[in-house]
Amino acid sequence: MTQTTRRGRPGYDQQGILAVAVAAFNEHGYDATSIGMLAERLGLSKSAIYHHFGSKDEMLDLALDAALSGLEAVVEDPLPDADSAPGTDAVMRLEHVLRGAVHVLVDQLPAVTLLLRVRGNTDVERRALTRRRAFDRRITALVTEAQAEGSLRADIDASVVARLSFGMINSIVEWYRPGGREGADRLADDVVAIALDGLRRREDASTD
């Protein structure tokens, strides 16, 4: 779209303005952030902002869509190695999704942080929550499939596994800082180890 390449007077294009807006939404809250506040922070007039966005809701919608589209793409993304071992397809896809979700969070930290703070107060937020719930259901279905194939222990409800796993991933937004000791790959390794090692079915487990 040509709108994404037009530049504001101090050199801000649409994505640059959106990045500043998302940072303000996260810092002050969406409701408390006004166009006037953004204009002051950007050094732009309100009309210059409206040249790029029709409303503050449009900014929120674009930011939430970026986060959700990234997560949804992870579920659709095929495994890099299609020749998975027999009986482990679902658990391998689950591991792939967990790793991918960590990368989305790291790559789009401000937008994902904003998504996790949505409470459904506007139509934009409610649409985002609907998509997020659909994503959660797909993760739960994948856990259920992994349990059915015998790759994961089945004594824990699939929806609980999904919530706990993504609760851990989502908590990264509270403490992760880019450029720290752990990059996305190492962080994904840690998440998978914690989330899945205790869930994998033990072949040598004895039965009473």
Mean pLDDT of 14-39: 96
Token readout for 50 is: 């409206």
CB 124 within 8 A of CB 61: yes
Which residue, among 124, 120, 3, 118, has the nearest Cα to 57 in the 3D structure? 124
For residue 115, pLDDT beyond 50: yes
In this prediction, what percent of the chain has a pLDDT beyond 90?
76
pLDDT tens digits along 124-163? 999 999 999 999 999 999 999 999 999 899 999 999 999 9
pLDDT of residue 82: 52
Q: Could you give the CA distance from residue 19 to residue 10 in angstroms, rounded to a whole number? A: 15
Q: What does pTM read for this prediction? A: 0.84
Q: If you average pLDDT over every residue of the chain, what do you get?
A: 88
Q: Give me the half-sphere count of Cα atoms (radius 13 Å) on the Cβ side of residue 51.
A: 17
Provide φ and ψ at 9, rounded to 5°: -60, -40
Give residues with Cβ within 8 angstroms of 19, minimum separation 6: 110
CA distances from 96 to 50, 106, 147, 163, 192 (A): 40, 16, 16, 17, 9
Q: In order of start, what are the domains of the chain with their CATH numbers? A: 2-54 (1.10.10.60), 57-196 (1.10.357.10)
